[in-house]
Amino acid sequence: MQKICPCLWFNGQAEAAVAFYTSTFKNTEVLETTYYLDHMPMPKGKVMTIRFVLDGQEFLALNGGADFSFTPATSFIVYCEDQQEVDDMWEKLLVGGQESQCGWLSDRYGLSWQIVPRPLIEMLQGGDSAGAQRAVAAMLQMKKLDIATLERAYKNA
């Protein structure tokens, strides 16, 4: 068990969400499921929590009810090695969701994700501050990030 584990609050959709996320990411595993008991806020026998792993990161999904919902103030970053991985993760997570700017999207459950190509991080840390500024300016015009366009901006080509 990880020392720090994000808890994702769902309104009765924890099982469907976990199925979606574990089908989207590699190296996944459902670790345990707990159920509501008598005299608890939800009906006895309903799934309360599901502890699961996505590509090495542990999460807890909670069927907590309608009291809270996700906002873009909290998001998960998926670092991608190349454009194919960016495209693949974007396509999978966007099903039933909504695009935003700068590589952000919200999935069908309202959870925000940032799909970030590692080459962009390298541009931002590469020591060419003018190139980094051009890459950021290009990024601000995008929804899904396009590495080739970012690289052209970085190189001022």
Indicate yes or no: pTM above 0.75: yes
Secondary element (H or E) of residue 137: helix 129-139
Q: Is 88 helix (H, G, I), strand (E, B) or coil?
A: helix
CATH of 7-63, one of 3.30.720.100, 3.60.15.10, 3.40.50.1820, 2.60.200.20: 3.30.720.100
pLDDT tens track, the chain, 157 positions: 789 999 999 999 999 999 999 999 999 999 999 999 999 989 999 999 999 999 999 999 999 999 999 999 999 999 999 999 999 999 999 999 999 999 999 999 999 999 999 999 999 998 999 999 999 999 999 999 999 999 999 999 8
Residues 23, 122: contact at Cβ < 8 Å? Answer: no
Strand partners, 35: 47
- pLDDT at position 1: 79
Give me the DSSP letters along 24-68: HSSS-EEEEEEE--TTSSS-TTSEEEEEEEETTEEEEEEE--SS-
Domain ranges in the chain are: 7-63, 75-155
Alpha-carbon distance 114 to 106, whole Å?
9
Alpha-carbon distance 128 to 136, whole Å?
12
Alpha-carbon distance 126 to 119, whole Å?
10
- pLDDT at position 2: 86
CATH of 75-155, one of 1.10.490.10, 3.40.50.12780, 3.10.180.10, 3.30.70.20: 3.10.180.10
- pLDDT at position 157: 81
Strand partners, 59: 52
Tokens of 78: 């998926």
